[in-house]
């Protein structure tokens, strides 16, 4: 492995920041004139602090904080966060202290570095022994979300250099990444980071399956890529002829998201059959406006026959994490099955960078506001009430680390629930009294039993009896969310008293 040059890496960082500034990205464009000077001072400070230190890979230690800062710049974050990334290992690994950082770079940067230092002390020893550490992580996130974004960047570089570590340490770090960090990135809607974290950890946690999937994908990808290039040009011409401007039309291959493909292949109805994966390669269209998105969808359907049940409108009905796009799967003239994703540039940035795409750190100091990350605020409040660590872990596994579905109230409001959630979970999510008075449910205008497992896109109507005061005790074993379980227990305890 070639040893990187620190000065060249810092110059690359400055170049990335300059590109973001020229593109008018708000986090960097709104920075004060002195912020870049502060970053240069931070580089000199960190270089001096880590002087003589070498990583297990043999490269100078300063390369790691530089790589962390580089990733934060690529995530389009503000200069305060990038500077904190450059300094994040100083208090833990050098003779310099947090007080030195505060004195030289101010309280905001020092607070971010302190948050990272605390998270750095959390060592993963399996979910069951991790409860207290997770509590600290969620509190840190709710206090300033930038702390966990720096942690993502730090973790990504560590994963890229795992080869030099002993196998047991490789497995521990990779397992923690799949079980903790990737799901949090997913909940923050940072698709790009989630995919990178998963793919880098995949080969260390499931080496046999990783070898299997990397053996079958490249050839399959090449075959599909050739046929899609022709389709791409046909679509480009047709959109142009219909006066729809294209910002970008690109092939999106699953070679970059091997772990999510692997999880999809494990589903019972797919059973490792690659021919049942229709989005192995998708064609992504980025157009200027929302109107153009729907116009492009109509043109695609006039060119190719859409596959029933595979048209998804995430623009009118965004996913709970904010993801917006139109998805359609079509049969092409030669029998190929192709997925198209259609979105605006703003929607694309949201899909790739999630909260980092539009977070104005300078204005709110990384705080969670009423309109965003409701789930995190609820979790922090909920964990104050849950003293038992086992119960807290169950909450976290369900409310954070499980796949999510989104369903609708009859008025069209979106409710975010874990997979396998029931109408009772839905009712308690809307309001305690709705849950307590629940006697039945309609899903998509059809009566269902209260143990019915909801699916994304379902419209759920709860049938109530105003004379009913208490929930059924048997519901405890039926519900999937900690919120519903907690409210049922609270109502039962109240009745006992």
Tell which residue, 198, 195, 119, 134, has the closest CA to residue 400. Answer: 134
Angle at 19 between CA 18 and CA 25, to 5 degrees: 95
Q: Of the listed 11, 37, 48, 92, which one is catalytic?
A: 92
Q: What is the pairing mode between strands 281-287 and 248-253?
A: antiparallel
CA distances from 477 to 21, 386, 481 (A): 54, 19, 11
CA 183, CA 204: separation in Å to the nearest integer?
18
**Token reading at 250:** 């690109």
Is 89 assigned a catalytic role?
no
Is the C-alpha dihedral spanning 459, 460, 463, 466 positive or negative?
negative
CA 2, CA 182: separation in Å to the nearest integer?
29
Cβ neighbours of 449 (radius 10 Å): 10
CA 115, CA 94: separation in Å to the nearest integer?
17
Residue 351: its H or E element? helix 345-353
CA distances from 381 to 20, 138, 144, 181, 378 (A): 36, 10, 16, 21, 5
DSSP per residue, 103-141: HHH-HHHHHHHHHHHHHHT-----GGG-HHHHHHHHHHH
Tell which residue, 305, 287, 303, 288, has the closest CA to residue 341. Answer: 287
State the alpha helices, DSSP H only, in 75-106. 79-87, 90-93, 98-105
CA distances from 274 to 228, 283, 306 (A): 17, 18, 20
Q: Of the listed 74, 93, 179, 420, which one is catalytic?
A: 93
Q: What is the pairing mode between strands 312-313 and 281-287?
A: unpaired
Is 92 assigned a catalytic role?
yes
The CA-to-CA distance between both ends of the chain, in Å, stands at: 68
Angle at 316 between CA 313 and CA 321, to 5 degrees: 85
Q: What radius of gyration, in Å, describes the C-alpha atoms of the chain?
A: 25
Chain position carrying tokens 């198209």: 340
| Enzyme catalytic residues | 92-93
């Amino acid at each position: 492995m070639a040893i990187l040059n620190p000065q060249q890496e810092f110059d690359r960082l400055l170049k990335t920041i300059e590109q973001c500034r020229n593109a008018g990205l708000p986090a960097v464009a709104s920075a004060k004139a002195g912020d870049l000077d502060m970053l240069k001072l931070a580089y000199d400070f960190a270089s001096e602090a880590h002087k003589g230190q070498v990583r297990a890979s043999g490269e100078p230690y300063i390369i790691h904080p530089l790589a962390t800062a580089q990733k934060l710049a690529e995530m389009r974050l503000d200069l305060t966060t990038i500077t904190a990334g450059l300094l994040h290992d100083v208090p833990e690994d050098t003779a310099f202290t947090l007080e030195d950082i505060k004195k030289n770079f101010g309280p905001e940067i020092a607070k971010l570095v302190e948050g990272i230092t605390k998270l750095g002390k959390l060592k993963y020893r399996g979910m069951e022994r991790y409860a207290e550490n997770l509590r600290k992580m969620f509190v840190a996130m709710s206090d300033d979300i930038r702390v966990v974004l720096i942690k993502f960047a730090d973790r990504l570089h560590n994963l890229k250099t795992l080869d030099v570590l002993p196998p047991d340490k490789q497995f521990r770090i990779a397992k923690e990444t799949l079980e903790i960090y990737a799901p949090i990135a997913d909940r923050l809607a940072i698709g790009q980071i989630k995919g990178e974290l998963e793919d880098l950890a995949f080969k260390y946690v499931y080496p046999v399956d990783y070898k299997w999937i990397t053996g079958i994908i490249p050839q399959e990808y090449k075959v599909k890529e050739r046929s899609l290039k022709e389709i791409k040009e046909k679509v480009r011409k047709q959109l142009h002829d219909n006066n729809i401007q294209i910002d970008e039309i690109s092939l999106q291959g699953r070679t970059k998201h091997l772990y999510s493909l692997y999880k999809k292949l494990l589903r019972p109805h797919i059973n490792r059959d690659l021919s049942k994966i229709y989005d192995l390669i998708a064609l992504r269209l980025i157009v200027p406006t929302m109107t153009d998105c729907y116009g492009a969808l109509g043109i695609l359907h006039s060119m190719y026959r859409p596959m029933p049940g595979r048209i998804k409108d995430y623009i009118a009905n965004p996913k709970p994490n904010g993801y917006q796009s139109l998805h359609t799967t079509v049969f092409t003239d030669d029998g190929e099955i192709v997925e198209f994703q259609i979105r605006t540039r703003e929607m694309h940035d949201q899909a790739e960078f999630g909260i980092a795409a539009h977070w104005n750190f300078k204005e709110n100091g990384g705080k969670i506001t009423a309109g965003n990350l409701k789930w995190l605020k609820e979790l922090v409040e909920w964990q104050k009430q849950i003293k038992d660590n086992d119960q807290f872990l169950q909450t976290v596994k369900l409310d954070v680390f499980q796949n999510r579905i989104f369903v609708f109230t009859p008025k069209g409001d979106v409710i975010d629930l874990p997979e396998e959630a029931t109408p009772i979970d839905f009712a308690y999510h809307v309001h305690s009294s709705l849950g307590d008075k629940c006697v039945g449910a309609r899903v998509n205008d059809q009566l269902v039993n209260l143990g019915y497992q909801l699916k994304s896109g379902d419209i759920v109507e709860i049938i109530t009896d105003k004379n009913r005061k208490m929930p059924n005790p048997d519901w405890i074993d039926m519900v999937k969310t900690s919120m519903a379980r907690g409210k049922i227990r609270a109502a039962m305890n109240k009745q006992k008293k």
